[in-house]
C-alpha cells in the first residue's frame, strides 16, 4: 500500500476499533434491561413463560393465553409465598422473581413442593395467623411451606387495596422472614449443647421444685408446677424451665456455638430469601442465660430455621441446606439440578439420638402429647413464647417416624396461646398428612 | 471462479437470513425483490468485469443492500419496496459511475459549480422535511440533492487539490494563500449553505473528509492546525446560532438527565443495542421500531438489537473490507486524480459510518445521517451506488 492508503486505512481501522470498544461496552458489558424507561423491561409480561411445577409435575404457576394476552394462573393461592406473583403492575416476587431469567426463556422450574400436602396444610391452617413448613429431614427438601394469611396471586387486581390495608400483612412470608422467640421449642438444642459439652447426661437426675433462683432472680415452670425428681430427658419431655435454665446458665456463651451450628442467627441460603433471626449477646448474667435456655429473652428464630434445625436432630445431627427447587430445565440451556447439601454438622450424632429420645418422650407423655400419631412413633417439642403484646406464640417442631424420619415440621401460630393445646395437635395433623403424602406418592427418601 | 463461489456463498447467507426471519411467523411476500437485488449485483459484476473495472466491491455492497432491505421489510413492507425502487435507479447510477471518465481533464471545475447549483436550488425551491430543508421535488419524485452534491464536491476538491498541488505546497505567505483562498471560500460557502438548510450532518461529514483529503494531498502541519481551529470556531458559532444544535449537544452529553426529552432517542437506541447482547434477539423479535427514525438514522440500533454484537461486527467488517478494497484500488491507478477520488469516496463512506454508529453509541453527537447502502432512503442509495460505480471505474483499464 502507498503511504496515502496506509495512512487512510490506519485512521479508518482506529475508528473501527473505537466503535468496537463502544459496542462491546453497550452490548456486552452494560446492562440497561431494568432501566425504568426501557420498554423491554415489560417484555416478560408479553411473552410465554415457563411453568413452576410441584414435585410430581403438577403446575403451580403457568401461563395461558386469554384473548391474545398471556395470563399467569396459579393453582394454589396458599403457595403465593413460594411461587410469588408475576404481575405487570405489581412486579414479581418469590420464585417468579428469583428464577425470572430462566422462566422468561421458557424454562420450567421444578420445585420440591407437594401440592396435595400443601392443600392439606392450607386447610389445617385456615383462619390462623402463622407459618408451617414440612421438610424431608434427610435431604432438606421443602415439601410444603405456608405462611398465613396469604394473598391470592390470581386476584391481585381485585383485592390489592384490601391486601395492602390488611393489618395482618398477608404479603409477609412468615415462614422465612417471620422472627419469633422460640420459647420452649429451643430446649432440644439447649439439651443437645449440654450433652455435647458433657454438662449433663440423658439419665441425670434433677430435683425440680417448680422454681429456681439465678443471679438473684427467679425462673419458674409453667404455672410454677414442680416435677420433683426427673431425668434430663424427662425434663425435656415435660419442658421443665428449672432444669433448662440451669443447663443454659452452666453452658453460657458455649450455648451460642451450638445454636449457631444449628443454623440459628444466620440467614440460611434459600431461593425465597430468609431472615437471620437474632442470637443474644455473649455477655449475659446467669439469669440472662437461663432466660435464653427457655427460649425467652433476645433470641429470635424463623420457622425455616427451626424446620432445618429439627431436621438436623432427626437425621443424626446434620444440618441440611433447605431447598425448594430441584431442577430448572427446558429451552436451550442445560438443566440445573439441585442436590441435597450438608450445610454443617450441627450436633454430634449420639447427641442427636439422645435428644430424639427426649422428644419421643414429649409426644408420648409430655407437653407434646397432642401431636401423637396412630401407629407411628413421633418426636416433637412444643414452645409457648411470651410476647409483650397479647397471647403467647405457640410453636411445635417435630418429626416422624422418630427412628426413620421421613418428615419434619415446624409450626408457629401467632398469639396461638398454649402450644400443647394448639400447636401440638396441629403439628400432629401436619405430620400425619405429610406421612400420608409420602406413602401415597411413594416419595423417594434415599437419594 | 473464486468470485463465483463467493457469490453462491452470499446467496446462501441471504436466504439463510430470510429463513430465520420466515421462522418468526411472517410471510415473505416480496421475496423476489431480495433475489432481484442479488441478481442485479450479479449482472453489475459481469458488466464491470466485461468493462475491465473492479468488481470486488460488489460483493460486500450487495450484502449491505440485502441486509438493509431485510431490515426495512421487517419494519414496513412499503419501505422495503421503496428501497427496492431506489436500488433499480441505483443500478443505472452505478453504470453512470462505471462508464463515466471522472478524471477527464475537460470537466475542469464543472462538478463544483454543479454541486453549488444543486445546493442553491435546494435552498430556493426545496421543501421542509423533518426539520431540514433538504429536499428537491421533481414532479411526483423527491430527492435529497445533498447526497449527490457531496460526491460532486469530492470530485471537485480532489481535482482542485491535485491540479494546484505544486502551488499549494509553496509554503506560507501570500503565494499559497492565493491558491488556498478560493478553495476555502468555496467550501465555506457550501458549508454555510448546508448549515442554513439545517443539514449539519452532511456539512460536518464534508468538512472532515475535505480536511483529511487536503492533508493527504498537501501534507502540512499548519493545515492541520488551521482546520482544527476552524472546526472549533465553527462548532462554537453553530452552538451560538442554532438552538437545535445545543439540544443535540445536551442529548449527547447528558441523555440520562433528559431521558424523556432531548435524550429520548439516543437512550432508546442504547436500550435496543443493549438488549441485543452478543447474539441478538432474532430478526423481528426486537422492539427497535419504537425508536424514532429507526429506518434511517437508527437502523444500526435495530440491527444491534436483533443480530447482536456478532451481527453489527459483521456489518462493520463489511464496511472495513470495502474501505480496504477501495484503498487498494486507489493504489493501482497511476492517475493522481483517480487515486484521490477513490480515497475520497472511501473516506466519505468510512467517516459517515463512524459518525452514524458513533452517534448511536454516544462516541460523537448525533448527526442524523443514513448508514451507507443499508438505511432507508432512495436518494442515499442511488448516490452510494453511483460512488460504487466511480470506485469500480478507478481500476478500469481505459483505452486512451
Q: In chain A, which residues have their Cβ closer than 8 Å to the Cβ of B309?
A: 23-24, 27-28
What is the rounded radius of gyration, in angstroms, for the C-alpha atoms of chain A? 26
| Contact criterion met (CB < 8 Å) for B346 and A12 | yes
Strand pairing report for A59-66 and A69-74: antiparallel
C-alpha distance from B192 to closest chain A C-alpha (Å): 27
Only one residue has cell 392443600, namely: A119
Residue that finishes a domain, picked among B241, B273, B307: B241
* Count of beta carbons in the 10 Å neighbourhood of residue A213: 13
Q: How far is CA A345 from CA A177, A306, A400, B256, B267, in A?
A: 24, 15, 21, 51, 53
Task: Specify whether the CB–CB gap between A418 and A369 falls below 8 A.
Answer: no
Cα gap B174→B181, rounded to integer Å = 10
In whole angstroms, give the CA distance from residue B325 to residue A318. Answer: 70
Other beta carbons within 10 angstroms of residue A282's beta carbon come to 11
A117: helix, strand or coil: helix
Does B212 lie at the interface with A, CB-CB under 8 angstroms?
yes
B318, closest residue in chain A (CA to CA): A16
**B 56-115 residues with CB < 8 A to A:** none
DSSP E strand stretches across A346-406? 379-385, 393-400
For B86, left (φ over 0), alpha (ψ -120 to 50), or beta? alpha
Q: Decide if A1 touches B, using CB distance below 8 A.
A: yes
DSSP letters along A224-288, please?
G---EEEEHHHHHHHT-HHHHHHHHHHHTTHHHHHHHHTTTTS----TT-----BPPPS---HHH
Q: Is the peptide bond before A401 cis (omega within 30 degrees of 0)?
A: yes
What pLDDT score does B227 carry?
Answer: 83
Whether A164 and chain B come into contact, CB under 8 Å, resolves to no
Residue A101 contacts B where some CB pair is shorter than 8 Å: no
In a 3-state reduction of DSSP, which class is residue A399? strand
* B97 and B86 in a common domain: yes
Same domain for B129 and B83?
no
Residue B178 and residue B139 share a domain: yes
pLDDT in tens, chain A (447 residues): 788 889 899 999 999 999 999 999 999 998 888 787 888 877 777 778 899 999 999 999 998 888 777 889 999 999 999 999 988 888 889 999 888 888 887 889 999 999 999 999 999 998 899 999 999 999 999 999 999 899 999 998 889 999 989 888 999 999 999 999 999 999 999 999 999 999 898 888 988 888 888 888 888 888 888 888 899 999 999 989 999 999 999 998 999 999 999 999 999 999 999 999 999 998 888 899 999 999 888 899 999 999 999 999 999 999 999 999 998 887 666 677 778 888 989 999 999 999 999 999 999 998 888 888 888 999 999 998 888 777 889 999 999 898 999 999 999 999 888 888 889 899 999 999 998 887 766 554 433
pLDDT at B295: 86
Q: What CA–CA distances, in Å, run from A110 to A102, B115, B208?
A: 12, 69, 60
Q: How far is A156 from chain B (nearest CA, A)?
A: 28
Name the helix (H) or strand (E) containing A337: strand A336-337
| Pairing assessment for the beta strands A130-135 and A142-148 based on DSSP bridges | antiparallel
Domain membership of residue B96 (yes or no) is yes
pLDDT at A154: 92
* Rounded CA separation A320/A317 (Å): 9
pLDDT tens, position by position, B209-228: 998 988 888 877 777 788 88
Positions of A marked active-site? 184
Mutation site, A2, A5, A28, A32, interface B, largest B CB count within 10 A: A5
CA dist A251 and A200 (Å) reads 10
Does the distance separating the beta carbons of B346 and A26 come in below 8 Å?
no
B287 near A CB under 8 A:
yes
Which residue from A minimizes the CA distance to B324?
A9
* Dist CA A78 CA B100 (whole Å): 80
- Please check whether residue B69 lies inside any domain of the structure: yes
* Identity of the residue in B216, B313, B331 whose CB atom sits nearest the CB atom of A7: B216
User: How far is it, in rounded angstroms, from Cα A329 to Cα A103?
Assistant: 10
- By Cβ distance, the residue of B277, B327, B328 closest to A27 is B277
**Domain check: are B253 and B230 in the same one?**
no
Interface of B with A in 262-281 (CB under 8 A): 264, 267-268, 270-271, 273-278
Q: A246: which 3 cell numbers?
A: 440451669
Cell of B151: 460526491
Neighboring chain A residues of B339 at a CB cutoff of 8 Å: 4
When CB atoms are compared, the residue of B308, B343, B363 closest to A27 is B308
Does B1 reside within a domain? Answer: no
B170 within 8 A of B176, measured Cβ to Cβ: yes
Please report the pLDDT score of residue B400 as a whole number: 39
How far is the C-alpha of B301 from the C-alpha of B2, rounded, in Å?
A: 34
A206-212's contacts with Cβ under 8 Å and 24+ in sequence apart are A206/A230, A206/A231, A206/A232, A206/A235, A206/A240, A206/A242, A206/A243, A206/A246, A208/A235, A208/A240, A208/A242, A208/A243, A209/A242, A210/A242, A211/A242, A212/A241, A212/A242, A212/A245, A212/A246, A212/A290
Nearest-Cα residue of chain B relative to residue A9: B324
Looking at the structure, do residues B178 and B148 belong to the same domain, yes or no? yes
Does A7 contact B at CB distance below 8 Å? yes
Please check the confidence at residue B261 and state whether its pLDDT lies above 70.
yes
Contacts of B362 in chain A (CB under 8 A): 22
DSSP letters spanning A46-105: GS----EE-TTS-EEEEEEEETTEEEEEES-GGGHHHH--EETTTEE-HHHHHTHHHHHT
More confident residue, B174 or A429: A429
Residue A259 C-alpha, separation from nearest chain B C-alpha, in angstroms: 47
**The length of chain A, given as a count of residues:** 447
Structural domain span for residue B146: 105-241
Q: Which of residues B241, B256, B282 is at a domain's end?
A: B241
Mutate to test the interface with B, among A12, A17, A31, A333 (most CBs of B within 10 A): A12
B307 part of a folded domain: yes
What is the end-to-end Cα distance of chain A in Å, rounded? 69
Contact A156, A85 (CB under 8 A): yes
Dihedral-angle region of residue A165 (phi above 0 means left; psi in -120 to 50 means alpha; beta otherwise): alpha
User: Helix B58-75 and helix B77-99: axis angle, to 10°?
Assistant: 160
Say if B330 is an interface residue toward chain A (CB within 8 Å).
yes
Cα Rg of chain B, angstroms: 21
Residue B323 pLDDT exceeds 90: yes
Of all residues in chain A, the one with the smallest CA distance to B270 is: A26
* Minimal C-alpha gap between A49 and chain B (Å): 16
Mutation to test the A interface, candidates B323, B333, B342, B353, most A Cβ within 10 Å: B323
Question: What does the pLDDT read at residue B15?
Answer: 60
Report the greatest alpha carbon distance in chain B.
Answer: 69
Which pLDDT value is given to residue B1? 43
Q: Is this complex scored with an ipTM above 0.85?
A: yes
Grid cell listed for A430: 401436619
Q: Within a domain: residue B212?
A: yes
* Coil/strand/helix, residue A142: strand
Of A90, A54, A82, A48, nearest to A66 by C-alpha is A48
To the nearest whole Å, the CA of B131 is away from the closest chain A CA by: 26
Which among A4, A12, A25 is the nearest to B350, CB-wise? A12
Confidence of residue B105 (pLDDT cuts 50, 70, 90): low
C-alpha cell at A302: 424463623
Final residue belonging to a domain, choices B188, B208, B241: B241
Residue B113 inside a domain? The answer is yes
- Cα–Cα distance measured from residue A167 to residue A152, given in angstroms and rounded to the nearest whole number: 16
pLDDT at A391: 83
CA-nearest of A397, A422, A399, A419 to A410 is A397
Quick check: A185 and A398 in contact, CB under 8 A? no
Same domain? For B77 and B212 the reply is no
The answer to the question of residue B260 being in a domain is yes
B180-204 per-position pLDDT tens digit: 888 888 888 888 888 887 778 888 8
Residues B326 and B255 in one domain: yes
Terminal CA-CA length for chain B: 30
| B346 interfacial to chain A (CB closer than 8 Å) | yes
- Where on the phi/psi map is residue A58: left (φ > 0), alpha (ψ -120 to 50), or beta? beta
Compare CB distances from B274 to A5, A11, A32 and report the shortest one's residue: A32
Q: Which long-range contacts (CB under 8 A, 24 or more apart) does B88-92 make?
A: B88/B40, B89/B378, B89/B382, B90/B378, B90/B381, B90/B382, B90/B384, B90/B385, B90/B386, B91/B40, B91/B43, B91/B44, B91/B385
Q: B221 with B262, same domain?
A: no
pLDDT in tens, B300-317: 999 999 889 999 999 999
Say whether the peptide bond before residue B167 is cis (omega within 30 degrees of 0): no
Which residues from chain A sit within 8 angstroms of residue B358, using beta carbons? 15, 18-19, 22
**Is the same domain home to B157 and B270?**
no
* pLDDT tens per residue across span B17-31: 665 655 555 566 777
Q: Are residues B230 and B147 in the same domain?
A: yes
Q: Distance (Å, rounded) from C-alpha A446 to C-alpha B153?
A: 82
Tell whether B304 is within 8 A of chain A (Cβ). Answer: yes
Do B81 and B137 sit in the same domain of this protein? no
CA distance B314 to B161: 35
CB contact under 8 A, B331 and A23: no
For residue A112, give the DSSP letter.
S
CB atoms within 10 A of CB A178: 23
pLDDT at B4 over 60: no
- Pairwise CB contact (< 8 Å): B287 & A43: yes
Say which residue the cell 491540479 belongs to.
B163
Chain B residue with the nearest C-alpha to that of A47:
B285
A2 interface with B at CB cutoff 8 Å? yes
User: Are the C-beta atoms of residues A434 and A407 closer than 8 Å to each other?
Assistant: yes
Determine the pLDDT at residue B257: 84
Domain count, chain B: 2
Give the whole-angstrom CA distance, residue B364 versus residue B152: 26
Q: For position B101, what pLDDT does the model report?
A: 83
Query: Could you tell me if B165 lies within 8 Å of chain A, comparing CB atoms?
Result: no
Distance from CA of A33 to the nearest CA of B (A): 7
Confidence of residue B339 (pLDDT cuts 50, 70, 90): very high
- Same domain flag for B233 and B272: no
Which residue has 447510477 as its cell numbers? B93
B217 found inside a domain = yes
Which of the following CATH numbers is that of domain A177-323+339-441: 3.40.710.10, 3.40.50.970, 3.40.50.1370, 3.90.330.10?
A: 3.40.710.10
B31 contacts: CB under 8 Å, gap ≥ 6? B18
- C-beta separation of A321 from A140 below 8 A: yes
Cβ contact, residue pair B277, A28, below 8 Å: yes
Place of cell 410471510: B27
Tell which residue, B195, B183, B189, B201, has the closest CA to residue B237: B195
Task: Please give the mean pLDDT across all residues of chain B.
Answer: 84
DSSP one-letter string for B120-189: HHHHHH-EEETTEEEEEEETTEEE-HHHHHHHHHHHHHHHHHHHTHHHHTT-SSHHHHHHHHHHHHHHHH
C-beta atoms of A11 and B339 within 8 A: no
Q: Does B363 touch chain A (CB under 8 A)?
A: yes
Look up residue B362 and give its DSSP letter.
T
pLDDT of residue B274: 92
Amino acid at each position: 500500500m502507498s503511504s496515502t492508503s496506509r495512512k487512510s486505512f490506519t485512521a479508518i481501522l482506529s475508528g473501527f476499533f473505537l466503535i468496537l470498544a463502544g459496542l462491546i461496552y453497550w452490548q456486552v458489558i452494560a446492562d440497561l434491561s431494568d432501566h425504568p424507561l426501557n420498554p423491554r423491561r415489560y417484555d416478560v409480561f408479553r411473552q410465554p413463560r415457563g411453568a413452576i411445577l410441584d414435585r410430581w409435575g403438577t403446575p403451580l404457576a403457568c401461563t395461558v393465553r386469554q384473548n391474545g394476552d398471556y395470563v399467569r394462573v396459579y393453582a394454589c393461592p396458599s403457595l403465593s409465598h413460594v411461587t410469588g406473583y408475576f404481575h405487570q403492575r405489581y412486579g414479581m416476587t418469590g420464585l417468579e422473581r428469583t428464577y425470572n431469567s430462566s422462566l422468561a426463556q421458557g424454562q420450567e422450574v421444578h420445585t420440591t413442593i407437594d401440592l396435595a400436602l400443601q392443600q392439606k396444610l392450607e386447610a389445617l391452617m385456615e383462619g390462623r395467623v402463622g407459618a408451617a413448613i414440612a421438610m424431608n429431614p434427610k435431604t432438606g427438601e421443602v415439601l410444603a411451606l405456608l405462611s398465613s394469611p396469604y394473598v391470592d396471586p390470581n386476584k391481585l387486581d381485585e383485592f390489592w387495596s384490601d391486601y395492602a390495608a390488611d393489618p395482618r400483612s398477608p404479603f409477609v412470608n412468615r415462614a422465612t422472614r417471620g422472627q419469633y422467640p422460640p420459647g420452649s421449642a429451643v430446649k432440644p438444642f439447649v439439651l443437645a449443647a449440654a450433652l455435647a459439652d458433657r454438662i449433663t447426661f440423658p439419665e441425670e437426675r434433677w430435683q425440680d421444685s417448680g422454681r429456681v433462683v439465678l443471679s438473684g432472680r427467679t425462673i419458674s415452670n409453667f404455672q410454677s408446677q414442680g416435677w420433683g425428681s426427673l431425668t434430663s430427658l424427662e425434663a425435656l419431655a415435660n419442658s421443665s424451665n428449672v432444669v433448662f435454665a440451669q443447663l443454659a446458665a452452666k453452658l453460657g456463651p458455649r450455648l451460642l456455638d451450638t445454636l449457631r451450628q444449628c443454623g440459628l442467627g444466620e440467614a440460611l441460603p434459600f431461593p425465597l430469601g430468609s431472615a437471620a433471626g437474632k442470637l443474644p449477646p455473649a455477655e449475659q448474667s446467669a439469669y440472662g442465660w437461663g432466660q435464653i435456655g427457655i427460649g425467652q429473652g433476645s433470641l429470635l428464630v424463623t420457622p425455616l430455621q427451626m424446620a432445618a434445625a429439627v431436621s438436623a436432630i432427626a437425621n443424626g445431627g446434620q444440618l441440611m441446606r433447605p431447598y425448594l427447587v430441584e431442577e430448572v430445565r427446558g429451552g436451550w440451556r442445560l438443566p440445573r439440578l439441585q442436590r441435597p447439601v450438608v450445610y454443617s454438622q450441627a450436633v454430634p450424632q449420639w447427641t442427636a439420638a439422645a435428644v430424639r429420645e427426649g422428644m419421643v418422650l414429649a409426644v408420648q407423655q409430655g407437653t407434646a402429647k397432642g401431636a401423637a400419631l396412630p401407629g407411628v412413633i413421633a418426636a416433637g417439642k412444643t414452645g409457648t413464647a411470651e410476647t409483650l403484646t397479647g397471647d403467647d406464640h405457640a410453636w411445635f417442631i417435630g418429626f416422624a417416624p422418630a427412628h426413620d424420619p421421613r418428615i419434619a415440621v415446624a409450626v408457629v401460630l401467632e398469639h396461638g396461646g398454649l402450644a400443647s393445646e394448639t400447636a401440638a395437635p396441629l403439628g400432629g395433623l401436619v405430620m400425619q398428612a405429610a406421612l400420608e403424602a409420602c406413602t401415597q406418592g411413594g416419595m423417594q427418601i434415599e437419594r | 471462479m473464486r468470485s463465483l463461489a463467493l457469490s453462491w456463498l452470499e446467496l446462501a447467507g441471504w436466504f439463510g437470513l430470510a429463513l430465520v426471519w420466515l421462522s418468526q411467523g411472517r410471510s415473505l411476500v416480496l421475496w423476489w425483490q431480495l433475489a432481484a437485488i442479488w441478481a442485479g449485483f450479479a449482472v453489475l459484476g459481469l458488466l464491470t468485469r466485461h468493462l475491465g473495472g473492479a468488481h470486488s466491491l460488489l460483493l460486500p455492497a450487495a450484502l449491505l443492500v440485502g441486509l438493509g432491505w431485510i431490515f426495512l421489510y421487517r419494519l414496513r413492507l412499503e419501505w422495503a419496496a421503496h428501497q427496492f425502487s431506489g436500488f433499480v435507479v441505483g443500478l443505472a447510477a452505478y453504470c453512470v459511475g462505471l462508464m463515466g471518465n471522472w478524471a477527464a481533464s475537460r470537466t475542469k471545475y464543472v462538478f463544483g459549480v454543479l454541486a453549488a447549483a444543486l445546493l442553491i436550488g435546494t435552498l430556493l425551491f426545496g421543501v421542509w422535511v423533518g426539520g431540514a430543508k433538504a429536499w428537491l421535488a421533481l414532479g411526483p419524485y423527491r430527492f435529497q440533492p445533498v447526497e449527490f452534491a457531496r460526491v460532486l464536491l469530492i470530485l471537485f476538491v480532489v481535482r482542485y487539490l491535485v491540479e494546484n498541488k505544486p502551488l499549494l505546497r509553496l509554503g506560507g505567505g501570500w503565494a499559497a494563500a492565493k491558491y488556498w483562498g478560493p478553495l476555502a471560500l468555496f467550501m465555506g460557502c457550501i458549508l454555510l449553505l448546508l448549515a442554513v438548510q439545517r443539514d449539519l450532518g452532511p456539512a460536518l461529514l464534508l468538512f472532515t473528509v475535505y480536511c483529511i483529503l487536503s492533508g493527504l494531498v498537501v501534507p502540512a502541519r499548519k493545515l492541520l492546525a488551521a482546520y482544527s481551529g476552524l472546526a472549533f470556531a465553527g462548532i462554537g458559532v453553530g452552538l451560538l446560532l442554532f438552538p437545535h444544535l445545543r439540544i443535540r449537544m445536551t442529548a449527547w452529553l447528558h441523555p440520562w438527565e433528559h431521558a424523556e426529552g432531548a435524550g429520548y432517542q439516543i437512550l432508546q437506541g442504547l436500550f435496543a443495542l443493549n438488549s441485543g447482547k452478543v447474539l441478538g434477539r432474532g430478526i423481528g423479535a426486537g422492539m427497535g421500531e419504537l425508536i424514532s427514525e429507526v429506518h434511517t438514522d437508527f437502523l444500526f440500533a435495530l440491527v444491534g438489537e436483533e443480530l447482536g454484537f456478532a451481527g453489527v461486527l459483521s456489518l462493520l467488517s463489511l464496511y472495513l473490507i470495502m474501505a480496504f478494497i477501495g484503498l487498494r484500488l486507489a493504489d493501482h491507478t497511476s492517475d493522481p486524480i483517480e487515486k484521490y477520488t477513490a480515497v475520497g469516496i472511501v473516506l466519505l463512506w468510512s467517516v459517515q459510518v463512524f459518525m452514524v454508529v458513533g452517534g448511536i453509541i454516544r462516541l460523537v453527537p448525533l448527526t442524523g445521517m443514513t448508514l451507507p447502502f443499508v438505511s432507508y432512503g432512495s436518494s442515499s442509495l442511488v448516490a452510494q451506488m453511483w460512488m460504487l460505480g466511480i470506485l469500480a471505474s478507478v481500476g478500469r483499464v481505459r483505452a486512451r
